[in-house]
Amino acid sequence: MMDAAAHALSDPTRRQILQLVRDDESTVGEIASNFPVTRPAISQHLKVLVDAQLMAVRPDGNRRYYRARPEGLTDLRAWLDSFWRTSLRNLKVEVERERWNELKDESQHRGLDDG
């Protein structure tokens, strides 16, 4: 599920492909012309992206139009978001605890100085 999406996004070329078709569908040739690698390489990347449900194909006669499929990112985004949120919350709680301890220390020192 999410494994496929995470794996697909791990390659920089594949991320660039996604960005390239983000706003407009385009053919394999068009996509490949934007990269320093051969068309078969792009074709293989496209297969990975389609398998991961991050892209969809629309055959039209001779050509095949590829477009981005944002829904394919849902699971990964959910995971990332959940992780990010709780992790950050924990961090904040800890920082607050530290600050609290510092304040306690200060007041204790003040108490000693006064006594």
CA–CA separation, 73 and 32 (whole Å): 23
Contacts 24+ apart (CB under 8 A), 40-43: 41/13, 42/17
Q: Which of residues 41-80 bind DNA (CB under 7 A)?
A: 41, 43-48, 57, 61-64
In the complex, the smallest distance separating the C-beta of residue 85 from a second copy, rounded to whole angstroms, is 8
Report the partner that residue 49 touches, choosing among DNA, a second copy, none (CB closer than 5 to 8 A by kind): none
Q: Is 19 in the site for DNA (CB under 7 A)?
A: no
Taking the CA atoms of residue 61, residue 65, residue 69 and residue 72 in that order, the dihedral angle to the nearest 10 degrees is 70
Q: Is 100 in the site for a second copy (CB under 8 A)?
A: no
DSSP at 16: H
User: What end-to-end distance do the CA atoms of the chain give, in Å?
Assistant: 65
Instruction: Point out which residues bind a second copy (CB under 8 A).
Output: 3, 6-7, 9-10, 12, 15, 18-19, 22-23, 68, 70, 73, 76-77, 79-81, 83-84, 86-88, 90-91
Instruction: Point out which residues bind DNA (CB under 7 A).
Output: 7, 10-11, 13, 27-30, 36-41, 43-48, 57, 61-64
